Chain A
Amino acid sequence: MPPGLRPSSLVKVRKQVESNLSSLLGKPVGVLQLTVFAMPCGCVGVSLETRNLVKEDVEVFGPKIKELVRSAARRILEDKPNVYYARLAPSGYDVVSVTGRVACDECREELEDAADLLTF
C-alpha cells in the first residue's frame, strides 16, 4: 500500500488540510470527510467535504486552495491532479466539497462545463 493511503496518513492529511484551510482563510473551515475515489473511466482523486467554505473564498483564494489540495492529493495518490473544482450547493453560495482529480480526457472536458462546479 502506498504510504499516503495508510489510515494514519489519511487521518493526518485530513487534519492538516483542515488546519491549513482555516489558517489561509482566517476562519474555521471544517473538513468533515476526506474521500479518495476511483472511477470506472480511470479518473482518480481526493475530495474534501467542507463546511464554512463559500464560493467567494474559492474565487479569491483559488490558487492557494489549489496548492493545498494538490499537496494533499500528491501525498495520498502520489500523482498530481489535472483538474481542481469546488462543488457548489444549488444556491451557488456554499461550497459542499473541493476536489483534486487526475481526470481522464472525457471527464476533464465535462467537468469544466458542469453548472454546479467551480473549477479553479
Chain B
Amino acid sequence: MFSIPTPGDPDATERLLGWFSDESEVTRVYMGLPSLGTGRATVVQVDVDTVETVAETCDSHDVDLEVVMNPLCTAEVISSRDGFSEFERTLSELDDVGVERLVLSDPLLIQRAVERGFRVSVSCISEVNTPQRARYYDELGVDEITLDTNVNRRLDVIEAIASEVSARLRVIVNEGCLPDCPYRPYHFCLFSHATRAGAGVTEDSYYVRCVSERVNNPVLLVQQPFVRPEDLDEYRRLGVETFKIAGRANSIRWIKRAVEAYLRREYDGNLLDILDCPTTLRHLIYLDNGELDGLLERAGRCDQRCSECGFCEEVAERAVRFRGGLADAARAASVESG
C-alpha cells in the first residue's frame, strides 16, 4: 500500500492520479496544509478550499486524502488559547470538507485530533525510533505510525516496534537525508516557521550544508536511510504495511518517476533520481542502484562501528560516480597521482 505526494494543486493532483488510475496499490495521496507550519516547503498556495477540491479529486479516483500538518515547532499552537483554537477551527473545517486522515507530529495535537475522530498517522518528525516511543502514540489511538527514517536501516528495531503496537507501521522509502543527520531537528524547526504564511525566512543554511556534506563525502550517499524499490518485500516481512513516497515539494513528473519505480519494485539507473531532498544532487553525482544489490542485508544489521568495518566505503567505491566538472577534476587528480 502506497501513500504518494501531491504538491497540493488540484489540477496537478488530477493529472497525477490519472497516471495511476489502474494501480490498486496507490491508496492514499497526501498534501501539506501549512497554516500551522509543516515539515516541507509547500510550493503552491494551499488553504482549506484547496484541500476540499483535492479531496473531491481523490474521491473520484477512489483514494484517500491525507492532510499533513507536521511542524516540529508547535509553540505558537500549544502555548496559547488562540493558537489552539485556530488548530481546533482547522480541524472543524477539514471535517466539514470530508477529510478523515491527518498526518500530525505533536502528541498533544494528535490526542485532540484522535478524540475528534480523525484517523491520524504520526509523522516521521515525531521520531518514533524505539518501541517505547511507539507505545506512547499507540496508546493515544493513532491509526498509523510513520517511523523515524533513521531506523530504516535498523531492521531489528522495526521488527521490535511492529511487535509492540497495534497501529499500522509506515516507512518513508525515498527520503535522501543524511544518515543520523545532525541538522535534522533544526532544519525541521526552520521549516516549521518558514512554511507559515508571512514568514520572513529566506535562507536555508541547512540545505547548503547538507548538500556540501555529501559532495565532500559521497560515502554518506550509501549510508542515507533510503529503502531501495527492490527491498520493499523485506520491510513487509518485518510488519511494515504502508510505504510513503516523499517528494511533495517536487513536480508531478518527478513524483511519477519515483512512484513508478516503487510500484515496479525496481529502478535501473541513478538512485538519486528518485530520492527526495535534496534532488539537485543527482546532477552532480550518479549513485548506481545496480551496485547496491545486497546493501540492506549488511547495512540493515549495521552496528555503526564504521572505523572497524569499511563496508559502505567499498560499496561507494563501486556505486558512486561524480558527474560533470566533478568527474573531470577527479579524473585529472587520478592521472596526476597515478
Question: A residues near B, CB below 8 A?
Answer: 14-23, 26-32, 51-53, 89-91, 94, 96
A-B contact pairs, 27 of them (CB 8 A): A14-B324, A14-B325, A15-B325, A16-B325, A17-B325, A19-B328, A19-B332, A22-B329, A28-B215, A28-B216, A28-B326, A28-B329, A28-B330, A29-B215, A30-B284, A32-B211, A51-B208, A51-B284, A52-B212, A52-B215, A53-B212, A89-B203, A89-B208, A90-B203, A91-B205, A94-B205, A94-B208
Beta-carbon nearest neighbor of A26 in chain B: B333
A51 contacts B325, CB within 8 Å?
no
B112 at the interface (CB under 8 A from A): no
A51: chain B residues at CB < 8 Å are 208, 211-212, 215, 284
Interface of B is mostly: helix
Total A-B contacts with CB atoms under 8 angstroms apart? 72
Beta-carbon nearest neighbor of B331 in chain A: A19
User: How many residues of chain B get a CB closer than 8 Å to chain A's CBs?
Assistant: 20
Question: B residues near A, CB below 8 A?
Answer: 203, 205, 208-209, 211-212, 215-216, 280, 283-284, 322, 324-326, 328-330, 332-333
CB distance from A26 to the nearest CB of B (A): 8
B205: chain A residues at CB < 8 Å are 89-91, 94
B332: chain A residues at CB < 8 Å are 19, 23
Provide the bound-state CA to CA distance between A32 and B284, in Å: 8
Which of B322, B324, B330, B333: most chain A Cβ within 10 A?
B324
B209: chain A residues at CB < 8 Å are 89, 94
- Cross-interface CB contact of B325 among A31, A52, A96, cutoff 8 Å: A31
Known: A31-B325, A52-B211, A52-B212. 15 other contacts (CB 8 A): A14-B324, A16-B328, A18-B328, A18-B329, A19-B324, A20-B329, A26-B333, A29-B215, A30-B215, A32-B211, A51-B208, A51-B212, A90-B203, A90-B205, A94-B205
